[in-house]
Homo-oligomer: A and B are copies of this chain.
Amino acid sequence: MPAHPRAHPFMPNSVPAIKAELMAALGIDSVDELFAQIPQDHRLDRPLELPPALTSEAALSRHMRSLLGRNRSCADNLSFLGGGCWHHYVPAVCDEIARRTEFLTPVWGTPSSDLGRNQAWFEFTSQLGELLDLELVALPVYSWGCAAGHAIRMASRLTDRRKILLPRYLDPERRAVIETYCEPAEMPSHLEIVEVNGDPETGRLSLDDLRTRLDGETAAIYFENPSYLGQIESDAAEIAALARRHGAETVVGVDPVSLGVLAPPAAYGADIVVGSIQPLGIHMYGGGGLGGFIASRDEPAYAHEYPALMVSIAETTHEEHIFSLALMHQCSYGSREAAKDWTGNSTYLYAIVAAAYMTLLGPEGFRELGSLIVQRSRYAASLLDGIDGITIRFRDGFFKEFVANFDDTGRTVAEINKTLLDRGIFGGIDLSARFPDLGQSALYCVTEVHEQQDLDRLAAALREVCTR
């Protein structure tokens, strides 16, 4: 350590002379005096024990890089993981916008001084609204799971009912979040979750089972399209119609990158639509890239149940466009315990990134993307289906994910994935613990980042692995 402590690069006032000047202005001799309010017996009586400071950026950078060097990423390897966080290509423009300091660092100002950021938010909701064919889109919440949880609670408040139907084949992560939002049975506002079976033939929701579960107590049916297992719910309109017949809300979770080729849920009767914005130009960040959206028709009954912030276009005193928060009184900032659920710092930077992504792609980009994914994922499935011991569980009607079953290989998915890992391949998500009825199955995810050669390489590796 140098003889004289050095001012810290992050702290312009850590210069002794400045501290002295400030103390002089206050007429104190020691900063300690300022903490008089805190009783001595509250105080920590020793210095903190933290690893040594790395105030040299070069040293810190090296330390961080050496730690991160222990990671192996989906970019350096060939990954087929999906299920709730997906490896899509992130356009360089999205990164450029995400790192603009004006967007990256601040909290909020006024609608005038934040014009650009608020406009970008409005462009996010407006474009997502086009993809969804819906007029009301809120700013994003933490994640798809959280969006689903909130939407289900909205549905319960809207219907004043407490029973929620969920598909049996649902991402356990999302499912766990939803359960938390439904509250334990002890709570007076508990929402009861009832599972609807999947059809063992198609992987889609069993309409028969749905009919037996739906009743006058049902607040909402929540399902996803494509489903967790990748299937396109072709009975979606029927499901929504059934729900409507029972006075229940239809809440649909959707992958926005599918919407260039798949019908938007509003078209088949969804009342509230949720989903992830992570695929819209946001890196996976080990799960840190999530963000969830909530959308619906622009009807006051729905609007009044949103917990999330909502940005509206408005006019200035001089008739310029300006963008500002609407219905603030109903969120937790506005009404504390009387609020609709709660809000706070969320994933608003990603809203801007997603806006840029949607603008970049435009209608044709989404169409191309959706088509390419459907084709390549089907190609992958067909390759795998030809391998001894591997069966594709639901052979068609899927979007980017499909279920490969390895029962006939006599090996577990865990074993197979370990062997793939040695070859630089991250195999699909192991479903065996999540859904034992699917046997040794894995959820393979194929997106636009997978070129044919990658899929061929996967097939070759699996052929080797499975037939050993």
* Residues of A in contact with B (beta carbons under 8 Å apart): 6, 57-59, 61-62, 65, 75, 89, 91-92, 96, 101, 364, 448-449, 451
Name the residue on B nearest A9 (C-beta): B360
| A359 → B minimal CB distance (Å) | 12
| A157 → B minimal CB distance (Å) | 43
Q: Are B449 and A58 in contact (CB under 8 A)?
A: yes
Number of this chain's copies in the assembly equals 2
Q: Are A92 and B58 in contact (CB under 8 A)?
A: no
Q: Are A101 and B91 in contact (CB under 8 A)?
A: no
Beyond A57-B92, A62-B451, 11 extra complex contacts between A and B, CB < 8 Å: A6-B364, A57-B89, A57-B91, A58-B89, A58-B448, A58-B449, A59-B451, A61-B89, A61-B92, A65-B75, A96-B101
Instruction: Name 13 interchain pairs, CB-CB below 8 A, sorted by A.
Output: A6-B364, A57-B89, A57-B91, A57-B92, A58-B89, A58-B448, A58-B449, A59-B451, A61-B89, A61-B92, A62-B451, A65-B75, A96-B101
Q: Which residues of B contact A89 (CB under 8 A)?
A: 57-58, 61
Q: How far is the CA of A65 from the CA of B75 in the complex (A)?
A: 10
Q: How far is the CA of A75 from the CA of B62 in the complex (A)?
A: 10
Q: Which of A57, A59, A75 has most chain B Cβ within 10 Å? A: A57
Q: Which residues of B contact A58 (CB under 8 A)?
A: 89, 448-449
Name the residue on B nearest A65 (C-beta): B75
| A361 → B minimal CB distance (Å) | 10
| A104 → B minimal CB distance (Å) | 10
Q: Which residues of B contact A91 (CB under 8 A)?
A: 57
Q: Which residues of B contact A65 (CB under 8 A)?
A: 75
Name the residue on B nearest A365 (C-beta): B9
| A8 → B minimal CB distance (Å) | 13
Name the residue on B nearest A91 (C-beta): B57
Q: How far is the CA of A62 from the CA of B92 in the complex (A)?
A: 13
Q: Which residues of B contact A62 (CB under 8 A)?
A: 451
Q: How far is the CA of A59 from the CA of B91 in the complex (A)?
A: 11
